Structure 1
Amino acid sequence: MMMWSNFFMQEEDRRRAAAGRRRARGLQKSQMTPEREGKIKLALLLTSVGATLAVLAVGTEFWVELNTYRDNGSAVCDAAHLGLWKLCTKRLWQADVPAGRDTCGPAGLPGEANCTYFKFFTTGENAHIFQRTTKKEVNVAAAVIAVLGLAVMALGCLCVIMVLSKGAEFLLRVGAVCFGLSGLLLLVSLEVFRHSVQALLQRVSPEPPPAPALSYEYSWSLGCGVGAGLVLILDGVCFLLLTLPPWPWGSLCPKSGHRAT
């Protein structure tokens, strides 16, 4: 009886020792070198730049400025700026407009402002800007694509955080795909928004008063969106390169050892 008890205890000890060795090998494999961890953190720093630009672009309303012309025989002129979610119309003093500018603006000048969120997100109504009507389907599509890009970007950040905290390096490739896709979605959103601006300028209301002549110029929020898209795509490429095996320079240019004396 004592012999069988010793046998089972020895078998249990061997199983525990084997399990411990397997865990140790797994931890050794999943442990990253400081150099690799530093590269991932550097790429994550680049991600933070792209994420900041993306949130700033989507959250602000200076995507495009619509300006009436100054020669209206009045001391004031009208301008507007809009983004994915909100429209702001402004009445500016002609004296504040820079000399030599034919149109009213820029919209950042101080004046009487009226900002409203677009109703097509809640009631489905189109917005009316300077006797022109928005095409709500295109505006909603641009906003949805931008939000989807932010969601995919957040998923990529979560994957990289899991790589750094848990050592799950297989998620690095998933994060690279997420960042590249996020940047692409942001650029697609910008293009769809550009089409919405063109549709707005063409949908002139036939009802009086007559629609004023307009000029338009894209503003800094859209520039932030372009920068965010390019940075996120570049960041996706950087993370993808980190998942590839090392370049075989070691086999092409082996290190020379010490000569025997």
Structure 2
Amino acid sequence: MMMWSNFFMQEEDRRRREAASRRRAQGQRPLTPEREGKIKLGLLLSAVGATLAVLAVGTEFWVELNTYKTNGSAICEAAHLGLWKMCTKRLWQSDVPAGRDTCGPAELPGEANCTYFKFFTTGENAHIFQRTTKKEVNLAAAVIAVIGLVVMALGCLCVIMVLSKGADFLLRVGAVCFGLSGLLLLVSLEVFRHSVQALLRRVSPEPPPAPALTYEYSWSLGCGVGASLVLLLGGGCFLLLTLPPWPWGSLCPKQGHRAA
């Protein structure tokens, strides 16, 4: 029995040495509890950014378009739109704050009419308050945002593989994915801003005359900005975890190694 016990122990030690040599050959470091905790904290931070990104892309409160209140009318019109659809609303002027010259905010209760943009299906531009969208710019903003979400999902998958399988080399890939997704969301926000400017300029010459409009960016766009910054921060944290420890160890020596 003792002979078999020694044999199994030697076999287990041999397997551990082979696994360690394979990790060294692949540039992997053992996943210590401290390192695992740091990776989990980075994943939690990235999960917050991912939640904000999905919330921003899936909602339509990126920008609000407000008409001016007209005298003698009990109602006024406003609209809000995002990457996928727009909603026009007829609001009661009595609900609009007294110090506000324009109709809104769009969150007020009223008669709403929401439609998805037709340029995703039939290729037609949308018409809002006698103005026409520029579908190429709107499509570009939506496509870039979707690509950002896909890259973000790949980053989450890479970090989960690091925690579950010990594939430490995927941590650098996850860091790049999170940083790239944050940049793509920022680009999508900028392209959407250009689409709003193009919408305001493309006034239809056909009657009735186009009403004067003001616009203000809303909370969905704020979620997108927050998601971009958090994802960039998460990617930076993962990238720091992939750096070799020796530069930091030389800058911060332990007390036990200091000369007496």
TM-score by length of 2: 0.89
* 1:167 is the counterpart of 2:152: no
Following the alignment from structure 1 to structure 2, what is the Cα–Cα distance between the partners of residues 198 and 225? 19
Structure 1: 4+ residue segments shifted above 6 A? 16-19
1:135 partnered with 2:134: yes
- Map 1:89-168 onto structure 2 (within 5 A): 89-168=88-167
The answer to whether 1:23 aligns with 2:22 is: no
Q: State the AA in 1 paired with 2:64.
A: E
**AA paired with 1:192?**
V
Structure 1 CA distance for aligned equivalents of residues 77 and 193 of structure 2: 22
Deviation track 1:53-108 (CA, whole Å, cap 9, x = no partner) reads 00000000000000000025311000000000010000000000011100000000
Shift of 1:20: 3.1
User: What is the deviation of 1:251?
Assistant: 3.8
> Could you report, residue by residue, the CA deviation over 1:171-226 in whole angstroms, capped at 9, with x for unpaired residues?
00000000000000000000000000000000000000000000000000000000
Instruction: Return the offset for 1:25.
Output: 2.8
RMSD after superposition: 2.2
Q: 1:27 to 1:106 in 2, by over 3 A?
A: same
Equivalent position of 1:11 in the other structure = none
Cα deviation for residue 246 of structure 1 reads: 1.5
1:83 paired with 2:78, answer: no
Distance 1:19 1:223, change over 3 A: same
Counting matched residue pairs gives 246
TM-fit CA distance, 1:28: 7.6
- Residue in structure 1 matched with residue 235 of structure 2 by the alignment: 236
Distance 2:128 2:71 in 1: 18
| In structure 2, distance between residues paired with 1:21 and 1:234 | 36
Tell me, in whole angstroms, the C-alpha distance in 2 between the residues paired with 1:247 and 1:97: 62
Q: Cα–Cα, structure 1 residues 24 and 201, in superposed 2: closer, same or farther, change >3 Å?
A: closer
In 1, distance between residues paired with 2:46 and 2:204?
Answer: 44
The answer for the alignment partner of 1:256 in structure 2 is 256
**Closer, same or farther: CA 19–134 of 1 in aligned 2, 3 Å:** same
The aligned counterpart of 2:5 is: none
Which residues in structure 2 correspond to 1:187-202 (within 5 Å)?
187-202=186-201
Match runs of 1:6-85 below 5 Å = 20=15, 22-26=17-21, 31-85=30-84
Verify: 1:214 aligned to 2:213, yes or no.
yes
Which 5+ residue runs of structure 1 have no aligned equivalent? 1-15
Distance change in 2, residues 1:17/1:109 (3 Å)? closer
- Rate the CA distance shift 1:231–1:22 in 2: closer, same or farther, 3 A: same
How far, CA to CA, are the matches of 1:249 and 1:237 in structure 2?
A: 16
Q: Structure 1 counterpart of 2:37, which letter?
A: G
Give the fraction of aligned pairs with identical amino acids, expressed as a percent.
83
CA distance in 1: counterparts of 2:220 and 2:174, whole angstroms: 26
Using the TM superposition, give the Cα deviation of residue 23 of structure 1 relative to its aligned residue in structure 2, in angstroms: 3.3
Taking the aligned partners of 1:120 and 1:139, their CA distance within structure 2 comes to: 9
More moved, 214-223 vs 24-33 = 24-33
Aligned to 1:225: 224
